Amino acid sequence: MKKLFKWLLIITLALLVSLAIVVFNPGLIRAPLENYLSETAGYPVRLEGELKIRPGGVSTVSARNVHVSAPDWSREPDLLAIGHLELKLATATLLKDIIVIESLVVDGLELNLETDAEGRGNWLSAKKAPAEDTAGTGGVMVIFANVEASDAAFRFRNGPKDLEHVFNIVTLEHQHASDGLLHTSLNGDLNSRPVEYTSTIG
């Protein structure tokens, strides 16, 4: 899940960096943006659908049919696919150490993880990972005030054992309420067994 949020954040921040160029015609930057995302993430990224950016105090970014390609040996062609993503970000927080995502809505998400016969994961990029910031000077915290997901599927296939597990999320809601409480509810199934979860923390 942490890896997934990292990908989503990379995609979103790259879109926002391009804000001044794409306000009137987002299509102008589609190819350069795909190249930048692919180089940054270490995976081929394709933006095949509509792309919109609305700037403001709270900037909105939306994209459809986002695909992150898996290695050639993977059973599924996509490592990550997103039918629709909409993100609302408190723009001023981009200049601070804490970035506030007011809302993240994801629909039609598929994450396909698998290992080959030798146990190598398809999520391991050929691109060398950057060195960690051990001094802690470049760290940025991201706060998600509201997250909604629907029609999401997470698949993991164990290549050496030839086993597959599938976690489907019908609906997921996670809200940081004004009273400081964190409310979470989830409805889905794991390997066709119903899963329901609700919690309030704070």
Task: Please give the model's pTM, rounded to 2 decimal places.
Answer: 0.78
Compute the distance between CA of residue 127 and CA of residue 85 in angstroms, rounded to an integer.
Answer: 26
Q: Return the top range by mean pLDDT from 11-15, 25-29, 52-56.
A: 52-56
Contacts of 141 (CB under 8 A, 6+ apart): 97, 98, 99
Compute the distance between CA of residue 171 and CA of residue 176 in angstroms, rounded to an integer.
Answer: 17
Output the six-digit token pair for 97: 């150490």
* pLDDT tens-digit series, residues 87-110: 999 989 888 888 999 999 999 999
Output the six-digit token pair for 154: 């997470």
Other C-beta atoms within 10 Å of 43: how many?
Answer: 22
Amino acid in the structure at residue 59? S
> What SS3 state is found at 42?
coil
Sign of CA dihedral 135, 14, 122, 106: positive
Q: Return the top range by mean pLDDT from 29-38, 53-62, 128-137.
A: 53-62
Closest CA to 106 of 171, 157, 47: 171
Q: What is the mean pLDDT of residues 5-19?
A: 62
Domain extents for the chain?
Answer: 54-121+138-201
Compute the distance between CA of residue 16 and CA of residue 29 in angstroms, rounded to an integer.
Answer: 12
Compute the distance between CA of residue 68 and CA of residue 40 in angstroms, rounded to an integer.
Answer: 12
Q: Is 95 left (phi over 0), alpha (psi -120 to 50) or beta?
A: alpha
